[in-house]
Amino acid sequence: MKRLVPLLALLAGCAVGPDYGDPEFAMPPSWSVRTDSPADLARWWTSLGDPVLDRLVERALAGSPDLAVAEARLRESRALRASKTADLLPDLDLGGSLTRSRNSGHGPPIPGTKRTNLYQAGFDAVWELDFWGGQRRGVEAAQALLEAEEEAFRDVRVTLIAEVARNYAEVRGAQARLRVAERGRRGQVEILELVRARFDAGLVTDLDVARAEAAVDGIDARVGTFLQTRDRAIHRLAALLGLWPGALVEELAAA
């Protein structure tokens, strides 16, 4: 018995460790602002009431290359965790066979017997005991990796939805500014024509004409900037959806 105690202590010292502990965070007992009806953030973009945005988000979730890669890594981690967990279980092997023979009926094994059936069955079990805790640590590591990949998948999904919504808002904002600029340009062109008519009548100088022309040119420059902003946001949306750059131009440019 005295010899057994040091041996057990030696075995305990060879175990892999220490155990992992979750980090602790000091959370406040209450928040400064409370709500009786918390918002559903799982599909927060639907609260905007824009069916076009809803379709874009669904298409992005279905066709995003980045999300597909994250999902593949998540499936791989789940398979690894299942494999590591299986290492802790016995390895069972069950087999069986049936042999049927036919003879002339005059020889062994039993004279006069023409058919012989031979049945065989086997069962084998192997269980590797995890003395040192290496397999359990492998399961814990696989579980930690799985949880990390789950969070990475959620992070990619949340980021993808946020980017779709942000670029869509940029498209709509640029379109709204375009409409305002185009209305302003029409008014400024009318002013330019009036100034030119007054110049022909000798009522104003060429400086007044130049100022009116510069006002129109300034609006044209802003229109060009708004068009670039709109088109770039549309191209980014297409990339997020896994489409070629011009796939959404007709769908969103005139909307």
Domains of the chain by residue range: 49-71+157-255, 91-126
Question: What is the CATH architecture assignment of 49-71+157-255?
Answer: Up-down Bundle (1.20)
pTM: 0.65
pLDDT single digits (tens) 87-140 = 555 555 555 565 666 665 555 555 555 565 555 555 555 455 545 556 667 777
In this structure, are strands 115-126 and 91-102 parallel, antiparallel, or unpaired?
A: antiparallel
The tokens describing 207, both together, are 């400086």
Three-state DSSP class for residue 215: helix
d(CA 68, CA 146): 16
Rg (CA), the chain: 38
Instruction: List the one residue out of 70, 75, 74, 77 whose CA is nearest residue 139.
Output: 77
d(CA 138, CA 5): 28
pLDDT single digits (tens) 59-85 = 998 888 888 887 787 777 777 777 666
